[in-house]
DNA sequence: TGACTTTATGGTAATATTGCCATAGAGGCA
DNA sequence: TGCCTCTATGGCAATATTACCATAAAGTCA
């Protein structure tokens, strides 16, 4: 059962809109907390805590540069995953409309 | 931001060990609640609620057969995703050990 | 009909998550 | 040194999640 705990930790870390927004930004390039704070509609302390969650799950890594802290995306699995998920959900919608005769 | 809400709903649904156990079982074959209840170390009502979460996220579909309710996996994205995640995490561990000179 | 099985749901308590404020610590620079 | 920026953390209140129990609804079958 603890095999699933590790996976659940990853999934839970992905389970918040702000964190997904952060991850999509980090997929482009490393960013410091100050940049991410401008991006995310939330307090700096809140962003910092979201980043701690992602760090704890092993999804991002941290690098200090002077007074700034840069976060870096550590996994490349997300884009493909969401693409797969969304194509399935879109197909389901289509099937549903057909089933309704619409 | 609501684009991320939909994804977060999916991720949150994956964010519980019991639900991951259920999904791995459903990846093999459709199963009724009674079968899943034997599998998961939790009350039948708890399993039923976990299934409702998965259903709401669009990850599984439902089919009634007499008195039984069968759940079916609707997405095929999970196995590849976890494989990707775990290979990355494993590589990180390896790198970490090398960095320590172990 | 009555007994039984299967499933879902309301109630409720325990726990976890979230978000903001206030603040502390660390680095950079005049 | 003094002041600024950047970041993390403790505190706390609001909200969400989880799990169990009890129970109701629906199907099956004698």
Q: Which domains are delineated in chain A?
A: 2-75 (1.10.10.10)
Half-sphere exposure of B33 (CA within 13 A, CB side): 22
Q: How far is the CA of A56 from the C1' of D15 (A)?
A: 23
Q: Which of the four pLDDT bands, split at 50, 70 and 90, describes residue A90? A: confident
Kindly state the average pLDDT of the residues B69-80: 97
Contact A37, A50 (CB under 8 A): no
A77 to B88: CB separation less than 8 angstroms, yes or no: yes
State percent of chain B over pLDDT 90.
82
pLDDT given for residue B102 in this prediction: 62
pLDDT given for residue A100 in this prediction: 65
Q: Which of the four pLDDT bands, split at 50, 70 and 90, describes residue A101? A: confident
Nucleotide showing the shortest C1' distance to residue A45 CA? D8
* CA distance to partner chain B, nearest, from residue A34 (Å): 20
Contact B88, A77 (CB under 8 A): yes
Q: Which of the four pLDDT bands, split at 50, 70 and 90, describes residue B1? A: confident
Full DSSP string of B26-46: HHHS-EEHHHHHHHSSS-HHH
A17 to B8: CB separation less than 8 angstroms, yes or no: yes
């Amino acid at each position: 059962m603890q095999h699933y705990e590790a996976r659940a930790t990853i999934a839970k870390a992905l389970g918040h809109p702000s964190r997904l927004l952060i991850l999509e930004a980090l997929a482009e390039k490393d960013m410091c907390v100050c940049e991410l704070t401008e991006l995310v509609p939330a307090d700096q302390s809140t962003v910092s805590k979201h980043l701690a969650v992602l760090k704890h799950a092993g999804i991002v890594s941290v690098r200090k540069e002077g007074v700034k802290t840069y976060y870096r995306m550590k996994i490349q699995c997300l884009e493909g995953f969401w693409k797969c998920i969304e194509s399935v959900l879109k197909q389901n919608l289509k099937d549903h409309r057909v089933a309704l005769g619409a």
